[in-house]
Structure 1
Amino acid sequence: MTDGMTLPLWAEILTSLLLVAGGLLTLVGCLGLWRFHSFYQRMHGPTLGATMGMVFIVLASMLYFTMTDEGPALHEVLIAVFLTMTVPATTLMLARAALYRHRRAGKDVPLPDGDATAARFRTDTLDDERYYSVDEKKGPPPTP
């Protein structure tokens, strides 16, 4: 890219709009992290917001580098593919680790076999701030 090269006005506006849209979607996902109550609810906001924000930011990057270089910029596709593969896998592993930890602590979480007689799962009843020792009696945590 040379120092004197500029983008056409339509490309500058579209790139800017895509970057702002990607940033706003990521911000909304981060607000979900702040707003939701339990760990399971907090996982959804940043994951979905980051994924959708990434799509718009990658599109803006592709447009910018395609317009400034001589050919199509396809290296951003690799970024999108790697993020699309790793973000859901990481989220799944975090959810499984949290579910294991909550079941081990005796918290009210869904049973693995889908027992219909179990109490309805409510994420508001989970206490993510209190740590339980392994020696504590199984059962729901005491209410303060």
Structure 2
Amino acid sequence: MSEWIISILLLIGGSFVLVGSIGLVKMPDFFMRLHGPTKATTLGMACLLTSAMVFYSFSGEGVSVKEILISIFLILTAPISGYMLIKSAIHHRLESNEKTTGKDKIEK
């Protein structure tokens, strides 16, 4: 039963990381590109680390504190670093797409 849980968590985590990475490459401007790594990739890494915790707890080595600490660190720091990057881009007046700012809907 633990193999199924680990496999499902690995597949979910891998798919979130893949979607986040594709979003990083395919989005049109910096502001949209930032959503891929801060949201989807963070959730994918949390699933991958949870699968590692499940594996080590069922293999007899006990619950690993390292994976818990890494998960907490990622969940806390990814949104904060994304926020800081956005604030820096706004401060430097980085150009953005009209879909990001909503100007295309205001003018119509």
TM-score range, shorter chain: 0.7 to 0.9
Identical amino acids, percent of aligned pairs:
34
Q: 1:50 aligns with which of 41, 60, 69?
A: 41
Say which structure is richer in helix: 2
CA shift for structure 1 position 75: 2.8
Higher relative contact order (CA 8 A, sep 6+): 2
State the AA in 2 paired with 1:50: T
Partner of 1:137 in structure 2? Answer: none
Which segments of 5 or more consecutive residues in structure 2 lack a partner in the other structure? none
Q: Partner residue of 1:77?
A: 68
Question: Do residues 99 (structure 1) and 90 (structure 2) align?
Answer: yes
Confirm or deny that 1:20 pairs with 2:11. yes
How far apart are the structure 2 equivalents of 1:63 and 1:76?
Answer: 10
In structure 1, stretches of 5+ residues that fail to align are 1-9, 109-120, 125-144
Which protein is bigger by CA-based radius of gyration? 1
Q: Moved runs in structure 1, 4+ residues, more than 6 A?
A: none
Aligned length in residues: 102
Question: What displacement does 1:70 show?
Answer: 4.3
Q: Deviations over 1:15-39 (max 9, x none)?
A: 1221111011010011111221110
TM-score, scaled relative to structure 1: 0.62
- More displaced stretch, 37-46 vs 69-78: 69-78
